[in-house]
Amino acid sequence: MNISAPSPSPASLFDHTGRRKYLTGEERLRFLAAAARADRRIRTLCMTLTFTGCRISEALALTPGRIDMDGGLIVFETLKKRRHGVFRAVPVPGELTEALDLVHGIRESRRRNREDSLLWPISRMTAWRQITAVMKAAGIRGPQASPKGLRHGFGVAAIEAGIPLNMLQKWLGHAQLSTTAIYAEAMGEEEMALARRLWQS
């Protein structure tokens, strides 16, 4: 009888060989540094994925009307829901909203009533290729070198920063809290610090 290894659960931070599927904090910094050297529209896409943990399709659906410059928020339509019109607001750093305004003219689009134009009018595959090219330029290899790796990296970083699970669930647009809870399984700084104490005893 031929028994194959079970496929990994989709709600897992590791692939079927045990390799990590999320970017570490250091990898996220390298990714952003590499993005800063890319075309400016690719850079803003990379920044948006890094600072919000959104799905690539959700980023590509963004318009100037969904960027709240004064509130420091980006409003995403949660595209994995079974119905349209489910939105969530994710707080973002000022450097992201300012970069979006500089590159995509958010304020100008609002003044000219062009709030519904797409920020990145490209296909999902084109965006995926551009992001993975930045990953390669940053020297990031493995299962984590993808847009999904950025989403997982955001979740892990949020847990390490002490963000409550229910708030992270809202930011990521998860239907179930159990999906969000996988990020608590990642090896964070606190756990590493405890392990170092053990090694020194």
Does 8 score more than 50 pLDDT?
Answer: no
Fold of the 25-200 domain? hpI Integrase; Chain A (1.10.443)
* pTM for the structure as a whole: 0.89
Q: Residue 90's closest CA among 54, 62, 46, 44?
A: 54
Region class of 113: left (phi > 0), else alpha (psi between -120 and 50), else beta: left
Q: Which residues 6+ apart lie within 8 Å of 147 measured at CB?
A: 49, 55, 56, 127, 128, 131, 132
What pLDDT digit, counting tens, does each position of 124-169 carry?
999 999 999 999 999 999 999 999 999 999 999 999 898 999 999 9
Does 195 score more than 80 pLDDT?
Answer: no
Going from N- to C-terminal start, the domains of the chain cover 25-200
